[in-house]
Amino acid sequence: MDERPTLDAIRRAPKVLLHDHLDGGLRPATIVDLADRSGYRDLPTGDPAKLGAWFAEMSNSGSLERYLETFSHTVGVLQNTEALARVAYECAEDLANDGVVYAEVRYAPELHTRDGLPLEEIVEAVLDGFARGGRDHGIRVGALVTAMRHQARSMEIAELAVRYRDQGVVGFDIAGAEAGYPPTRHLDAFEYLQRENAHFTIHAGEGFGLPSIWQAIQWCGADRLGHGVRIIDDIDASGDAPVLGRLAAYVRDKRIPLEMCPTSNLQTGAAASIAEHPIGLLRDLGFRVTVNTDNRLMSGTSLSEEMARLVEAFGYGWDDLQWFTVNAMKSAFLGFTERLELINGVIKPGFAQLKWHGSRPLA
């Protein structure tokens, strides 16, 4: 029997998270503390509970550009190596407490150089935090280094991804406002990464539509799509059977992973409600859909809560949640044998246990 998973039970499931921003997941109390220590004076309030609520409220703006404005505060307190390592450590701890067993967490090194930190020190501090947090709390966290799409440092950041590939940086990404900043602006970085056999994902099809997705895949060679939610624009669902355009068919046929972040999409206006979120149709059509948090602070969420919202909206059961999780593990920027080990040794046994207990009361 496949009973409706509760939030509490979902928290105990071994989950995989591919799209989570380090600077979008700080604990409010940590922000206040870091601001005190560094003399950062611009926080809207010094009360952690109010600050958490402020981020969530400000992020319900309906546009990606406005959604990104609150990052000035998290980035503002992350300008020294102690702060970066601490936040990375706490990220690993928080994800582990939510039952995440493998995560790829991204951030943009170029945003943390305001007080003169070299890029290498930034990368090393974050890797140190992930490694210590991972060891202490039993989770594996890989880093994705992000270049900001409106800036011009993507080649340098891509070089960092390659230089630190054996120390815990598992890939590269571009993020920031999408409209007006197409992925091909950074083509040299993507071509370099391909020549280096390195992995990358691209935020595409969130604040802008199909041309962005098409460029990310067919010009830049993205392994995965950050969000990719607007692929729905290439699917005609008006008749009895949905009809896929050529780009949508390509994405599905090639099993290109979609890093979907439902709550974040509501806040930026990319979807109207969870029930109307394209994830339902894309899952039914067999796209390689994964479930993600994007920014746990700004979206006031966790991976378990994202899954619980989908359970509520679409009636998903354990088999669906396992399918999302195995999809994510298959799509991770980790070696093939390690992915298999996690799928067969951790994910499948963990979900089997929950399905078993889900159908019988725990004494």
Ligand X SMILES: O=c1[nH]cnc2c1ncn2[C@@H]1O[C@H](CO)[C@@H](O)[C@H]1O
Detail the residues annotated as belonging to a binding site: 19, 21, 23, 176, 203, 294
Told to check if 68 binds ligand X by CB under 6 A, we report yes
Tokens describing residue 74 = 């998290």
Which residues make Cβ contacts (< 8 Å) with residue 220, sequence separation at least 6? 183, 184, 186, 187, 190, 202
Instruction: In angstroms, give the least distance from the CB of 268 to ligand X.
Output: 7
* Residues making up the binding site for substrate: 21, 23, 176
Choose which of 108, 145, 247, 271 interacts with ligand X (CB under 6 A). 108
Which residues make Cβ contacts (< 8 Å) with residue 239, sequence separation at least 6? none
Which residues make Cβ contacts (< 8 Å) with residue 80, sequence separation at least 6? 38, 115, 117
Told to check if 182 binds ligand X by CB under 6 A, we report no
Told to check if 104 binds Zn ion by CB under 5 A, we report no
Task: Count Cα atoms within 13 angstroms, Cβ side, for 319.
Answer: 5
- CA–CA gap between residue 78 and residue 10 (Å, rounded): 32
- x-or-dash pattern for Zn ion, window 292-311, by CB under 5 A? --x-----------------
Tokens describing residue 125 = 């501090």
Nearer to ligand X, 71 or 200 (CB): 71
Instruction: In angstroms, give the least distance from the CB of 294 to Zn ion.
Output: 5
Told to check if 157 binds ligand X by CB under 6 A, we report no
- CA–CA gap between residue 38 and residue 291 (Å, rounded): 35
Nearer to ligand X, 5 or 226 (CB): 226
Whether residue 206 lies in the annotated active site: yes
Helix extents (H) in the chain: 7-12, 28-38, 48-59, 64-67, 71-76, 81-97, 119-137, 154-163, 187-195, 210-214, 246-253, 262-268, 279-284, 303-314, 318-331, 336-342, 348-358
Instruction: In angstroms, give the least distance from the CB of 292 to Zn ion.
Output: 8
Binding partner at 206 among Zn ion, ligand X, none, C-beta below 5 to 8 Å by kind: ligand X
Binding partner at 129 among ligand X, Zn ion, none, C-beta below 5 to 8 Å by kind: none
Instruction: In angstroms, give the least distance from the CB of 61 to Zn ion.
Output: 15
Tokens describing residue 95 = 């994800």
Strands 169-175 vs 15-21: parallel, antiparallel or unpaired: unpaired
Q: Which amino acid is at 272?
A: A
Number of H helices, E strands in the chain: 17, 10
Told to check if 94 binds Zn ion by CB under 5 A, we report no
Q: Which stretch binds ligand X (CB under 6 A): 16-24, 121-129, 154-162, 191-199?
A: 16-24
Binding partner at 23 among Zn ion, ligand X, none, C-beta below 5 to 8 Å by kind: ligand X
Give me the catalytic one of 206, 259, 305, 306.
Answer: 206
The burial class, CB within 10 Å (0-12 / 13-18 / 19+), for 332 is: buried
Give the nearest residue (CB) to ligand X: 175
Q: What are the backbone dihedrals phi and psi of residue 122, each rounded to the nearest 5 degrees, phi first?
A: -65, -50
Told to check if 176 binds ligand X by CB under 6 A, we report yes
| Interface of this chain with ligand X, residues 190 to 219, rule: CB under 6 A | 203, 206
Contacts with Zn ion by CB under 5 A lie at: 294
Contacts with ligand X by CB under 6 A lie at: 21, 23-24, 64, 68, 71, 75, 106-108, 111, 146, 175-176, 203, 206, 264, 294-295
Catalytic residues: 206
